[in-house]
């Protein structure tokens, strides 16, 4: 996944902006987090016969200027729901396993957007169920829903810190994605996620 370098990020914050048309799109296939990996017996029991995480893919575009990066995510959601949500995962260090939500030594930094009017959440995860509020990375998001599709731009400051996934021009890293379908009552581990990391070339 190639990050296109641009002059000034501001006009790109609008997910509907025509500018985005000229940027390479990568369709990232998604799959449901497997039932045995749901953290409690209750959740496994309740969802054993109920499909979840059925969003097949998310189309991703990425641009950056000198200070910030913007991810444009677009996916089919059918309906629009207050609990529709998306997240971007970035490794903080080491080689975390995405589906395990990282580990103590190899943590993951997430940016979460939810269609509830609240700001994007930055979270820090050292494994399933361990997520806690993450470092301040000046995250932002704008979302637009039309014709059964969400278009979402999530932005973050470039740079690195102890608990911040490094995003440094010239240094490749990895990125992962997750989508929750609110109308299907999806939350927590009930989601569609990119099976593995995608290389991210800044």
Partner 1 sequence: MSVNQRQVAMVMDLNKCIGCQTCTVACKTLWTRNEGQEHMLFNTVNTAPGAGTPRNFEQMGGGFRNGKAQSGQLPTMADWGEKFELNFDEVFYGGESDMPLNAKTGEPDWSANWDEDVGAGEYPNSYYFYLPRICNHCTHPACMAACPRKAIEKREEDGVVLINEDRCRGYQFCAEACPYKKIYFNEQKGVSQKCIFCFPRLDEGVANACARQCPGRVRFVGYLDDEEGPIHKLVYKYKVALPLHPEYETGPNVFYVPPLSPEMIDDQGNPTGQDRIPLSYLESLFGDGVKEALDLLKSERAITQTGGESELMDLLISRKWQDLFGPFSKHPRDAERLRITDAADPIKMFDPQLATTAVEEETQIVRLIDPANS
Angle at 139 between CA 138 and CA 141, to 5 degrees: 140
Please count the residues of this chain forming the interface with partner 1, following the rule CB under 8 A.
14
Classify 85 in phi/psi space as left (phi over 0), alpha (psi -120 to 50) or beta.
Answer: beta
CA gap 157, 164 in Å, rounded: 10
- Residue 81 near partner 1 by CB under 8 A: no
CA gap 138, 158 in Å, rounded: 10
Instruction: Establish how many alpha carbons lie within 13 A of residue 88's alpha carbon, considering only the half-sphere containing its beta carbon.
Output: 30
- Residue 99 near partner 1 by CB under 8 A: no
Work out which of 189, 191, 192, 200 binds partner 1, going by CB under 8 A: 189
Q: Where are the alpha helices (DSSP H) in the chain?
A: 41-46
- Residue 34 near partner 1 by CB under 8 A: no
CB of 131 to partner 1, least distance (A): 8
Q: Which residue stretch of 6-14, 20-28, 36-44, 135-143 sits at the interface with partner 1 (rule: CB under 8 A)?
A: 36-44
Q: Which residue stretch of 52-60, 89-97, 128-136, 139-147 sits at the interface with partner 1 (rule: CB under 8 A)?
A: 128-136
* Neighbouring residues of 29: CB distance < 8 A, sequence distance ≥ 6: 56, 57, 194, 195
Is 65 or 185 the residue whose CB approaches partner 1 more closely? 185
**Residue with tokens 């009017």, as numbered in its chain:** 117
Site string for partner 1, 148-187 (x = CB under 8 A): ---------------------------------------x
Q: What does the binding site for partner 1 look like in residue numbers (CB under 8 A)?
A: 38-43, 45-46, 128-129, 131, 187-189
């Amino acid at each position: 996944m190639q990050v296109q370098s641009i002059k000034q990020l501001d006009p790109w914050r609008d997910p509907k902006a025509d500018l985005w048309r000229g940027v390479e799109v990568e369709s990232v296939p998604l799959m449901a987090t497997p039932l045995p990996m749901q953290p409690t017996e209750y959740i496994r029991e309740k969802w054993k016969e109920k499909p979840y995480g059925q969003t097949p893919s998310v189309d991703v575009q990425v641009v950056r200027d000198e200070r910030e990066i913007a991810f444009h995510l677009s996916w089919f959601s059918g309906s629009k729901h207050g609990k529709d949500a998306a997240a971007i995962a970035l490794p903080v260090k080491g080689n975390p396993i995405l589906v395990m939500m990282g580990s103590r030594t190899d943590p993951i930094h997430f940016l979460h957007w939810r269609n509830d009017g609240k700001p994007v959440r930055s979270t820090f995860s050292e494994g399933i169920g361990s997520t806690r509020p993450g470092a301040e990375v000046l995250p932002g998001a704008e979302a637009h829903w039309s014709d059964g599709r969400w278009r979402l731009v999530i932005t973050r400051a470039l740079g690195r810190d102890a608990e911040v996934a490094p995003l440094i021009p010239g240094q490749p890293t990895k990125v992962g994605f997750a989508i929750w379908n609110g109308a299907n009552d999806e939350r927590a581990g009930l989601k569609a996620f990119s099976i593995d990391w995608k290389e991210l070339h800044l």
